[in-house]
Amino acid sequence: MGRHGWNSDARRWRFTALLGVGVAALALVLTLIHTLPGDAGSEAGTTPDGDKVHGTPAVPPGAAEPAVGWGFTHTQFSADEGSAAATKRVERYLGERPPPQIQHIMGWGADNPEPVKGRYDFEDMDRRIDFVRETGGTPVVTLCCAPDWMKGGESGSDRTDWSQEALETAPDPAHYKDYAALAATVAKRYPDVRHFIVWNEFKGFWNDAEARWDYEGYTELYNLVYKALKKVDEDIAVGGPYLVMDSLDPRQQENASSELKGSWGTMDQRVLDAFDHWNKHKAGADFVVVDGSSYTKDDDLLPDEFGATAKFTAVSRWVRERTGDLPLWWAEYYVEPADGDDIRDGWSEPHRVAVHASGLIAMARGGTTSAFYWNPETEKGATCAGCLWTPTDRASGGKPLPMLDLLSRFGEEFPPGTEYEQVSVAGADRADVRVLADDKAVLVVNTLDRKISAKVDGKRFEMGAYGVTWLRR
């Protein structure tokens, strides 16, 4: 799912960024010193005190609230780097309505956290956590992915394999405890991070022999990580399984679920089986995490792009019924199919925002309490379809875009614990209007590519094509 990009040229290696022949020569000497024959690989750029508290975090007292609201995930490029003027612009805007923000521990903007066993490199993570702290947002850490030496690769700060295949490889079972220990180290380093998601999309957990998810392996890893984090601090909130809730064409019979389906398609039964196993055998959970798109695995939007968002409601209700109403998070969610390069730029921005708003409404109606938008910015360029702000590579960058305004307002108006209310919708186009309301605000979405006259909650007004409007009550 998603734009899970990682560019090896952008890894910000320690020595290649240094200037001058003399400095480069010194770097080479240090590398040779740390890479002797028969050792575990280069330790250059690492430290043994990974669990040392970073900075001066403000640690919230008591147990973490298991629902955090509506936010976004930092990916390869984000506002922690770039022009100082641009990054400060993003910080100020986010600080007005601080959103929860996810950062992975490896990949998606973060270097290998433990390239050699017992030797750590948290420089990138430190910078990302600092950015979240500066904006006043709630930091969330996704515990993915794994250092090479835990999954059959080489040890050493100069030997990390950043290929997609390598990054999406799960730890070997023999190293599950090592991974749990790394999770505990992260928790100790950032005591203000009170929410941890275990792994990402079951990456590497597939049972080839039986053509199904390796839910036994994932659950074993999850339980070890859960216990390790709770040992650090019982008040830390932990969640999983972060499964991709894939749906199929309704006409497809193989692997089709007989219990969870709708006009949007049919759920893949293998996903539901994996979820049920984790749910039954988990050591515990403070919240539950899923991921998915409104469209099918074949990129079909059924019956259309707005109707397809009903999948979010149906899946949310199904999950909550099985988990005793644990707070539900969508770690990723998508409403616009991607092209072959995983790029989503086929819609106009008003169209994209309207469908996205409908998706948020659908999740809320299903009982979702927290959800995270993927990919806030691109590396550079004048345009960025669906981004939250313009690229921060230049002083004029970091300007908010329409999607950020939607997410920020939605998070402010409908925080966890919101009690939603019914409102009246009248007029010839009432079937093509989506609404969500509480006692203070109403979100109204026009799903048509033309202007309409709507009467919502007793107020009549005009909306442009794919218009998104907020009403006060």
Residues 199-221 have pLDDT tens digits of 999 999 999 999 999 999 999 99
Residues 471 and 423 sit within 8 Å (Cβ to Cβ): no
Q: Quick check: 24 pLDDT over 80? A: no
User: Tell me, what's the pLDDT at 198?
Assistant: 98
Please report the pLDDT score of residue 292 as a whole number. Answer: 97
- CB count in 10 Å sphere of residue 408: 21
Pairing type for strands 441-446 and 195-198 reads: unpaired
Q: What is the pLDDT of residue 39?
A: 59
pLDDT of residue 402: 96
3-state secondary structure of 23: helix
The label of the residue with tokens 């999948």 reads 311
pLDDT > 60? residue 382: yes
* Residue-averaged pLDDT of the chain: 91
What is the per-residue pLDDT for 325?
81
Per DSSP, the three-state class of 370 is: strand
DSSP H stretches of helix in 190-304: 215-232, 269-281
Mean pLDDT of 35-49: 78
Q: How far is CA 286 from the centre of its chain?
A: 17
pTM: 0.92
Question: Residue 114: what residue type?
Answer: E
- Residue 149's pLDDT band (cuts 50, 70, 90): very high
Per-residue confidence band for 36, with pLDDT thresholds at 50, 70 and 90? very low
- Of 380 and 228, the structure prediction assigns the larger pLDDT to 228
Return the pLDDT at 37. 43
List pLDDT tens digits, range 273-288.
999 999 999 999 999 9
What is the three-class DSSP state of 247?
A: strand
Given a cut of 90, is residue 253 above it in pLDDT?
A: yes
Q: pLDDT grade, residue 3 (50/70/90)?
A: very low
pLDDT at position 377, please? 86
Q: Residue 20: is its pLDDT beyond 80?
A: no
Burial of 291 (0-12, 13-18, 19+ CB in 10 A): buried
Residue 1 has pLDDT above 80, yes or no: no
| Res 2 pLDDT > 70 | no
pLDDT digits (tens, 9 = 90+) for 306-323: 999 999 999 999 999 999
Indicate whether 113 pLDDT > 90: yes
pLDDT computed for residue 248 by the predictor: 98
